[in-house]
Amino acid sequence: MKKRIAVTGTGAWSPLGNTNAAAMAAFRSLRNRVSVQSEVLGSYQNFNTSLGAVVSESLPPYPRKKTRTMGRVGTLAAAATEDALRSGGFLESPDLRNGRTGVAYGTSGGSFAAMEDVSRFIAGKDMINLHGSTYPLLMPHSVAVNLSIFFGVTGSVIATSVACASGSQALCYGRDAILLGREDAMLCGGAEEYSPFFVGVFDALFQTSQGTDPSRSPRPFDRSRDGIVAGEGAGTLLIEDWDHAIARGARPLAEIVGAASNSDAVHITSPDSAGMERCMRMALDDAGLPPSAIGYVNGHGTGTELGDIAESQATYSVFGHGVPFSAFKCYMGHTLGAAGALETIYSILMQREGWFAPNLNLTEPDSRCGDLDYITGSGREIDAEYIMVNNFAFGGVNTSLVIRKAG
């Protein structure tokens, strides 16, 4: 019999706040958390964008001995993971460090401070610009291994670095580790810090918002969309074998009943609708559900022309007009490696409350996008037993998760 996978704890640090209550209040306010980032971007020349969305709360004062190889991205991840462990009643559990709990965590890269060190080393050809923590701060698996060390987790370490799908792919692989019987529990998620480098990556592709009114950007699926607004944050989900969770007295928040990840294998930056559609159908097959069982779809919704059109057309091919649809980057920007984890957490919160946030700034859907049931206005009350969360990344890496409401 296939194991059941419970979500028993969550932690989210994002531009919407660092508590569930703060995030839901931000969604219900129908206002985004985008602002002009002159302090971060102002010293750089030739940026097309000036916008961003950052975490405003102060990070926990962890000892420097623990954080010196973590940077801001790793510290955000530690804060979110501590919250997930505490909310799941697992922080002091002996099971956390018994070798049957692992970490699956994603990020697009390491800390920007280390990137600056390497740049000075290359430009100046001087070893004085490198130090012992440079590579540990920069390496793609930095966040995953730092979390393992920080919390003493001795099980599997799975590091995903697939850009915008890093956090959700970590959930896919963490779930697999439990399904295969290798672990009883996994700490899964993703993190990213706001930096000129990641903003510049999208800016160089002419994919960033050039808007001057932060309240109006980004605007996914709208005819007047103008591109991505970069964000930051971290999201962690504690997932467990269902029987393990019940045996220790945990109360499941949700159940991950289906998951899939695939590749378009078409283009490094241009998305492919057919690959996205295949991924959604794979997740439904894994869950053993027809498309009609899904009560809500949370989209990737970056606010780029190619991405919005491909994603919405793929979603329409699977679900038609019948499923309510919205995306969250219009509230908190594109949090890159954290996006999949944060959007899954927030979708679960809304599923439990029975209210789903609308697409902000969507006043006139692009006629080239799929004819979906875009949630607008003040949101919508929906009693959804099953929901789907989708993320699509550079390189054509796609992920889809199917989540059942628990309790």
Residues tagged active-site: 164, 300, 334
Number of H helices, E strands in the chain: 14, 15
Burial of 44 (0-12, 13-18, 19+ CB in 10 A): exposed
- Angle, helices 305-319/273-287, rounded to nearest 10 degrees: 40
- CB neighbours of 269 closer than 8 A, spacing ≥ 6? 205, 394
* One-character DSSP codes across 33-86: --EE-HHHHTTSSS-S--EEB---SPPP---HHHHTTTHHHHHHHHHHHHHHHH
How far apart are alpha carbons 181 and 241 in whole angstroms? 9
Amino acid symbol at 138? L
Among residues 302, 192, 233, which one has the least CA distance to residue 22? 233
- CB neighbours of 20 closer than 8 A, spacing ≥ 6? 10, 12, 349
The C-alpha angle with vertex 38 and arms to 37 and 41, in degrees rounded to 5, equals: 80
The C-alpha angle with vertex 212 and arms to 207 and 215, in degrees rounded to 5, equals: 95
The torsion region of residue 30 among left (phi > 0), alpha (psi -120 to 50) and beta comes to left
Which run of H or of E encompasses 176? helix 166-179
- CB neighbours of 247 closer than 8 A, spacing ≥ 6? none
Question: How do beta strands 185-192 and 233-241 pair?
Answer: antiparallel
